Copies of this chain bind each other. A is one copy, B any other.
């Protein structure tokens, strides 16, 4: 019964809404005042997440037009909490009628039924719906703009979909142009022809009335060294606590991550060097930009594992909650056979929120040149 949809300490986001309720939205508290919000850039990020773009996602169209109820005046943040509301439209609640009786495998239905004693809104997944990630995208877009003005950039790509794999992000340095391109792309990939391969994998799954998972790799560049802390104050703890808040994420790894488990220390350690600028850098970046929980000044790199969406139209074995007996369940409705491309902007958004919180926690958000010139 504890609050669950609030994240952060100095910067706090509070997400609300149910898939088939009146609206979803987010309150962002702790933003610096006087920061411009570019609505087109915000809409772009929200549209990257929105379903219905192409055959790789669900045909449900969402307008997702954000309404700012507070915290914005003349296009700039006021420093007061910023509330963004996105009305729900185009909901067809009838599709979910039988969820009440039989929980969908892989979904939150059964666990939520126990937790909320049958009182939660199950329509469309209710508060557990992927739709709630539109709020994270809206919040992330605001934070991202604040970061970009401090030369901190965020981008991601679809590292894999099922067996299809993209090239990794370049290492140790990641060009701004690449991150920029990725952060504006609907199906962001690096290697030639990779998108086509991945789309083929997705189409195969769709034809089989099935779904498929994948991995998103994210980078944050421009963070100064020295942010974070030991033990639970580490960058990994901070970022993972928001990343695992994204539905369908079942794994988070930084730098070499699970791959490091197979390496020797001599392979995984990053030798230090001195750049021409006099800056201390590492020659490689197996650490993913984090040493001892603290930023090293190298790009922050992490990956999230996205499970195949549990919404499939094949018949599945479930149970009748009232009668307590096994039953067969066939879920109708609009299913997205692969949410991985849409998870990319969500992961970037979570990274933007976490990066801004990291700066605030470390008294490291520069404020020069941002004064309101009224």
| Chain A 353-374 per-residue mask, 1 if CB under 8 angstroms from chain B, else 0 | 0000000111101010011101
Q: Which A residues between 98 and 125 are near B, CB-CB below 8 angstroms?
A: 100, 102-103, 105-112, 114-121
8 Å CB contact of A269 from B85, B106, B208, B270? B106
Q: Answer whether residue A295 sits at the interface, using C-beta atoms and an 8 A cutoff.
A: yes
8 Å CB contact of A232 from B230, B241, B311? B241
A4 touching B293 by the CB < 8 A rule?
Answer: yes
Q: In whole angstroms, what is the CA distance A34 to B115 when docked?
A: 11
Q: In whole angstroms, what is the CA distance A295 to B79 when docked?
A: 16
A244 touching B236 by the CB < 8 A rule?
Answer: yes
A351 contacts which chain B residues (CB < 8 A)? Answer: none
Q: In whole angstroms, what is the CA distance A208 to B100 when docked?
A: 60
Q: In whole angstroms, what is the CA distance A265 to B291 when docked?
A: 36
Closest to A30 in B: B3
Q: Which A residues between 248 and 274 are near B, CB-CB below 8 angstroms?
A: 249-274
A6 touching B29 by the CB < 8 A rule?
Answer: yes
Q: Answer whether residue A66 sits at the interface, using C-beta atoms and an 8 A cutoff.
A: no
| Chain A 280-307 per-residue mask, 1 if CB under 8 angstroms from chain B, else 0 | 1011000110111111110000010111
8 Å CB contact of A262 from B162, B252, B372? B162
B251 touching A244 by the CB < 8 A rule?
Answer: no
Q: In whole angstroms, what is the CA distance A288 to B288 when docked?
A: 27
8 Å CB contact of A230 from B5, B73, B118, B249? B5
8 Å CB contact of A251 from B67, B120, B252, B269? B252
A116 touching B33 by the CB < 8 A rule?
Answer: yes
Q: Answer whether residue A12 sits at the interface, using C-beta atoms and an 8 A cutoff.
A: yes
| Chain B proximity of A357: nearest CB distance (Å) | 10
- Listed by A's residue number, 21 A-B pairs whose Cβ atoms lie within 8 Å are A1-B30, A3-B233, A5-B81, A33-B116, A78-B121, A108-B291, A110-B272, A111-B296, A112-B291, A115-B229, A118-B371, A127-B230, A210-B264, A210-B266, A211-B266, A232-B242, A234-B244, A236-B244, A250-B254, A260-B305, A272-B319
A127 contacts which chain B residues (CB < 8 A)? Answer: 70, 78-81, 230-231
Q: In whole angstroms, what is the CA distance A17 to B25 when docked?
A: 14
Q: In whole angstroms, what is the CA distance A234 to B212 when docked?
A: 23
A41 contacts which chain B residues (CB < 8 A)? Answer: none
Q: Answer whether residue A169 sits at the interface, using C-beta atoms and an 8 A cutoff.
A: no
Closest to A229 in B: B4
A10 touching B2 by the CB < 8 A rule?
Answer: yes
| Chain B proximity of A13: nearest CB distance (Å) | 9
| Chain B proximity of A164: nearest CB distance (Å) | 10
Q: Answer whether residue A61 sits at the interface, using C-beta atoms and an 8 A cutoff.
A: no
- Contacting chain B: which of A52-60, A186-194, A220-228? A220-228
A111 touching B291 by the CB < 8 A rule?
Answer: yes
Instruction: For the A-B complex with A16-B80, A205-B265 known, give 11 more contacts whose Cβ atoms are closer than 8 Å.
Output: A16-B27, A25-B69, A34-B118, A70-B127, A108-B230, A109-B292, A117-B367, A211-B266, A251-B251, A273-B319, A280-B321
Q: Tell whether A110 pairs with B225 under 8 Å between CB atoms, given A118-B372, A361-B10.
A: yes
Q: Answer whether residue A149 sits at the interface, using C-beta atoms and an 8 A cutoff.
A: no
8 Å CB contact of A225 from B111, B160, B215? B111
8 Å CB contact of A2 from B25, B229, B240, B274? B229
8 Å CB contact of A233 from B2, B77, B253, B254? B2
B10 touching A1 by the CB < 8 A rule?
Answer: yes
Q: Answer whether residue A198 sits at the interface, using C-beta atoms and an 8 A cutoff.
A: no
B111 touching A295 by the CB < 8 A rule?
Answer: yes
